[in-house]
Structure 1
Amino acid sequence: MLRLTELKLPLDHAADALRPAICQRLGIADTDLIDFSLFRRGYDARKKSAITLIYTVDCTLRDEAAVFKRLDCDRNIGPTPDMAYKVVAQAPADLKERPIVIGMGPCGFMAALLLAQMGFRPIVLERGKIVRERTKDTWGLWRRNTLNPESNVQFGEGGAGTFSDGKLYSQIKDPNFYGRKVLEEFVKAGAPEEIIYVSKPHVGTFRLVKMVENIRQNIVDLGGEIRFEAKVDQLLRDNSQVVGVELAGGERLMSRHVVLAVGHSARDTFQMLYDAGVYIEAKPFAIGFRVEHPQTLVDHARFGPNAGNEILGAADYKLVHHCKNGRAAYSFCMCPGGQVVAATSEPGRVVTNGMSQYSRAERNANSALVVNIDPEDFPGDFKKNPLIGMDFQRHWEAAAFVAGGGDYSAPAQKIGDFLAGRPSTAPGTVEPSYQPGVRWTDLGSCVPTYVTEALREAIPAFDRQIKGFAMADAVLTGVETRTSSPIRIKRGADYQSINTRGLYPAGEGAGYAGGILSAGVDGIKVAEAVALSMVNAEKNLA
């Protein structure tokens, strides 16, 4: 097959315009184009009045060699790479050991799925509940101000990504097309087929719930075992080798291959691992607020007269500003047509996050508006205590809880008041979407001073890119602290902990991913490493 990139057509092109455009670009007759399929569809919105769609297509031709020879100098035409996933190992029929996967987020369930597909019958341990029950507990916080520390936005089947915009794109390098494997498995599990080819695919919370359930059933059908409300309390080691885990109820499960995919908020698990002697180091993250604007404002700023176009959908943005105080302020996890949600996992703290449904039809756009934090900013010696970043996060989450009134309501402030340095006392034209509710105040007490300074400088700069971004009635809601893990559980080239053999740190919590797709890709890489190690171990025993 032949891959053709940078094929540009107007936004309003006819439904049947793609085939003749391919033939014209390749200089072939229609009869010479046997078939074609979409690999990617993006858009160029730099000229708002004339937005173009940009296609990458894979074509089957009658005389492919002749076309290659004639168009040899065209860098946008080449052979289609082999993107089919191929397993790296197969479990022996008399498998003596089963791998353990801790965590059922996107990294954990992709690792478990791959191991199951290779015949290793993994045991998955998830501290939270199945996704339907977890959803009820999450709504308990949003509607009734009641937090379940083991079943919430952070903990439970599907991981933190279940209550998000469901973004399925990443900037990671992916020469082996693992991302394609993730997307294909998601489509098999019920995700829309368009996620395979649109440039910025997303699923949305409601569709993610059903998709996660189907992946779970697939793992079980392939011989895997999944246990919910199964919190790992201890890592069992023999010198520097993992030999198993101990659950909160005292049960021990023995295995020399343990995948750790616990997410970025499993603070008690990080403490347990550190106490057990696993090597951990502090890493940077970011903190700030959630910002909300009318979605129509963002649509018009990005798409001009084409705002509302069905193909373009709700507009997003990605912003960054380098501040005079040396900080970088930037948008993160932008959720078009979504809502701000309560995302704490610990009592007495307020944490915000963003969420969208597949339709992205809510009236507000929201995004994290954050500033980089380095380990040197933590109050204490991060080299002596690599978990100190967790204490830093907790401090500001507790401050937000107090500023919000102590009932899991969140502190909020209008941008106009924030820029002027005065507290807000009432909403304006933008109604905050955070549940269980907001308390109007001054957000200055909820983040370090340098974060406030950086955001006050950055917001007017962002207004020059998104006209109306600094609108006085736009809403800031605090506090956003869980942008990424505050620690990294360092691993070697074989994906094992550098000082604990058999422990495979993976995904966001271990510091190796930053979103659903990248976490899923990391799960595949780790599953392959586990499979190869187990096959080699079986051979050595034989």
Structure 2
Amino acid sequence: MSLRTLSDVKLSLDQSESTLLSIAEKKLGRKAAYFAIKKKSLDARDKNNIKYIYTIEFSAVPQAQPQTTYEKLSKEKMPKSNVLVVGSGPAGLFCALRLLEHGITPIVVERGAPVEEREKDIQTFCTHHVLDENSNIQFGEGGAGTFSDGKLNTQTHSPLNREVLQTFVKFGAPQEILWLSKPHIGSDNLKKVVKNMREYILQQGGKVLFHTRLTDIQTADGQVTEVTLQTKTKTQESMEKMPVSAVVLAIGHSARDTFEMLLGKGVPMRQKDFAVGTRIEHLQSKIGLAQYGKAYTQLPPADYKLVSHASERAAFTFCMCPGGYVMPSASEEYGLVTNGMSNYARDGLNANSALIAQVTRADFDSDSPLAGVEFQRKLERAAYVAGGGNYTAPVQLVGDFLQDKESGGFGEVLPTYAAGTTFADLRVVLPAPVTQALKIAILDMDRKLKGFAASDAILTAVETRTSSPVRIERDENCQSIGVKGIYPCGEGAGYAGGITSSAADGIRVATAVYKTFAQG
């Protein structure tokens, strides 16, 4: 009997998922030899009748799982020297994994620390305000996404997205990400997953070099031939020149020194629009009540995604973290940056999200490809000063922000930013057009989500690293249009936004590297 699919299967909150198997077997008229949930979403449009909606797949006969194999390079086609993957975020890790499938053994270099050491460095920063510029929320094994919520939903419809989810499960992510409409791994699980990926790369003959930063490239006849790597730990420092046949730039959106070096070496890049603003925190219970009504206690922590076009400058929420924490995310001295994080359980008291407004090239001070970097840096330094100059974050209650007055005390909502907070007028941090756009957006969003404009909700500044401020230009073969053998990749290069799309682009670039050598 063939495989059958049943969509739009509704279960009330009181019904167990085991009911789904009974439904499938009733349709079959016999025991199911194969059963799987393919999709699960929540319909909360009617707060008095909230339902889970499922798509299920089942059959009376066992179903073999398809096995994918990849063409491998022949010995004659193998690269003559090293294939370097710069960065161990999702783009870099998934690129390295796919290169291995094609028989290409990569060297992954990561300026930051292994995830175990990185976690200690972040704790030191939160407690003692001592910043390691190469091991922090932005840099280190797993990339910036490791200390986020591990959200895997994406606006892209790449056929690679399913493969990305399956790979995460293979390396230890919860299996439910394969069917949830809003999948997330959780920061606590993601740390284990990226460590498992690293160990697999090593087992397969690849190399992973931590505390190692790309500082220079050499070219000949328009082709990259050599790189300079700086290895710097807390106790020693060394430089190494390495011959290369290909360099994948999965460097992340905060690798400003690398952007500058590449631009100086003639690697074409251009400005890119992004968004800036603050983190906003509410009590998670209030968000749950607003989204689900009294049934919220029976449901997973509620999220939201809001957009406002009430002013000339679009504003929106981004990277919403139910039951999460606002994280100290600086990667440069004298600069302050926020981000959000949730663990898998999402069991913190507060909900937080970026509340940001669009900025475009018209907002920048110059035509330089790095003008967006300088725009970010200016805001981060203003936030650092407003917070007191020691990485404590400037905060303001929403009610006071709307009235242009400095706050004097917290209400029900208490800040989760681990390095401490200081009350400040956020107008000294944010550009006036952004401030105005956020004010209008808060009131507009409150009409869509009751309580969003609660007077005691907390704004923490400043959120600047929402996406890369540059795009490193590449051709249809994923190679730099200026230097052959260089493959811009992932979010930092301007070709992805978030974990899933970055991982998918890593796979895409690895395939392009393989094809380049195969066609030799």
Instruction: Report the TM-score range of the alignment, normalised by the length of the smaller protein.
Output: over 0.9
User: 1:207 maps to what in 2?
Assistant: 189
Q: Which amino acid aligns with 2:190?
A: L
User: 2:114 maps to what in 1?
Assistant: 130
Q: Does 1:518 align with 2:501?
A: yes
C-alpha distance in 2 between matches for 1:133 and 1:525: 30
Q: Does 1:536 align with 2:519?
A: yes
C-alpha distance in 2 between matches for 1:426 and 1:156: 36
User: 1:217 maps to what in 2?
Assistant: 199
C-alpha distance in 2 between matches for 1:442 and 1:187: 45
C-alpha distance in 2 between matches for 1:49 and 1:313: 17
User: 1:9 maps to what in 2?
Assistant: 11
Task: Say which of 291, 315, 319 aligns to 1:302.
Answer: 291
User: 1:388 maps to what in 2?
Assistant: 371
1:178-217: CA deviation from partner (whole Å, max 9, x where unpaired): 2222222222222111111111111222211111111000
User: 1:140 maps to what in 2?
Assistant: 124
C-alpha distance in 2 between matches for 1:288 and 1:29: 54
C-alpha distance in 2 between matches for 1:180 and 1:83: 14
CA deviation after TM superposition for structure 1 residue 84, in Å: 5.0
Q: Does 1:359 align with 2:341?
A: no
Which range moves more in the overlay, 10-19 or 124-133? 10-19
Task: Say which of 226, 232, 253 aligns to 2:208.
Answer: 226
CA deviation after TM superposition for structure 1 residue 93, in Å: 4.2
User: 2:266 maps to what in 1?
Assistant: 277
Counterpart mapping for 1:455-474 below 5 A: 455-474=438-457
- Uncovered stretches (5+) of structure 1, i.e. residues with no partner: 63-79, 538-542
Q: Does 1:494 align with 2:480?
A: no
Q: Does 1:327 align with 2:327?
A: no
Q: Does 1:370 align with 2:359?
A: no
Q: Is the 8 A contact 1:91 1:119 kept in 2?
A: yes
* Identity in percent: 45
C-alpha distance in 2 between matches for 1:29 and 1:359: 36
Q: Is the 8 A contact 2:28 2:59 kept in 1?
A: no
Which range moves more in the overlay, 328-337 or 459-468? 459-468
Instruction: Give the TM-score, by structure 1 length.
Output: 0.91
User: 2:21 maps to what in 1?
Assistant: 19
Q: Does 1:114 align with 2:98?
A: yes
CA deviation after TM superposition for structure 1 residue 303, in Å: 1.0
Q: Which amino acid aligns with 1:6?
A: D
C-alpha distance in 2 between matches for 1:484 and 1:87: 34
User: 1:265 maps to what in 2?
Assistant: 254
Q: Is the 8 A contact 1:298 1:316 kept in 2?
A: yes
C-alpha distance in 2 between matches for 1:87 and 1:35: 24
Q: Is the 8 A contact 1:340 1:434 kept in 2?
A: yes
**SS of match in other structure, 1:307:** helix
Alpha carbons of 1:503 and 1:433: their partners in 2 closer, same or farther (altered >3 Å)?
Answer: same
C-alpha distance in 1 between matches for 2:448 and 2:466: 23
C-alpha distance in 2 between matches for 1:287 and 1:374: 11
Task: Say which of 145, 154, 157 aligns to 2:141.
Answer: 157
C-alpha distance in 2 between matches for 1:32 and 1:116: 41
C-alpha distance in 1 between matches for 2:98 and 2:72: 11
Q: Which amino acid aligns with 1:516?
A: I
User: 1:349 maps to what in 2?
Assistant: 335
Task: Say which of 375, 384, 398 aligns to 1:401.
Answer: 384
User: 2:365 maps to what in 1?
Assistant: 379
Q: Is the 8 A contact 1:87 1:118 kept in 2?
A: no
C-alpha distance in 1 between matches for 2:38 and 2:225: 44
- The number of equivalent residue pairs is 509
Q: Which amino acid aligns with 1:299?
A: G
Q: Which amino acid aligns with 1:244?
A: E
User: 1:73 maps to what in 2?
Assistant: none
Alpha carbons of 1:85 and 1:169: their partners in 2 closer, same or farther (altered >3 Å)?
Answer: farther
1:222-274: CA deviation from partner (whole Å, max 9, x where unpaired): 11011111111012211321123111243122122111001000000000000
**SS of match in other structure, 2:448:** coil
**SS of match in other structure, 1:19:** helix
C-alpha distance in 1 between matches for 2:346 and 2:53: 23
Q: Which amino acid aligns with 1:396?
A: L
Q: Is the 8 A contact 1:117 1:222 kept in 2?
A: no
CA deviation after TM superposition for structure 1 residue 285, in Å: 0.3
Task: Say which of 437, 446, 471 aligns to 2:420.
Answer: 437
Q: Is the 8 A contact 1:8 1:54 kept in 2?
A: yes
**SS of match in other structure, 1:272:** helix
Q: Does 1:183 align with 2:165?
A: yes
Alpha carbons of 1:84 and 1:492: their partners in 2 closer, same or farther (altered >3 Å)?
Answer: farther
Which range moves more in the overlay, 183-192 or 417-426? 183-192
Q: Is the 8 A contact 1:23 1:29 kept in 2?
A: yes
Q: Which amino acid aligns with 1:3?
A: T
User: 1:413 maps to what in 2?
Assistant: 396
C-alpha distance in 1 between matches for 2:4 and 2:226: 49
User: 2:300 maps to what in 1?
Assistant: 313
C-alpha distance in 2 between matches for 1:410 and 1:322: 28
**SS of match in other structure, 2:324:** strand
C-alpha distance in 1 between matches for 2:511 and 2:324: 36
C-alpha distance in 1 between matches for 2:321 and 2:124: 22
CA deviation after TM superposition for structure 1 residue 83, in Å: 9.3
**SS of match in other structure, 2:73:** coil
Q: Is the 8 A contact 1:244 1:254 kept in 2?
A: yes
Q: Which amino acid aligns with 2:348?
A: E
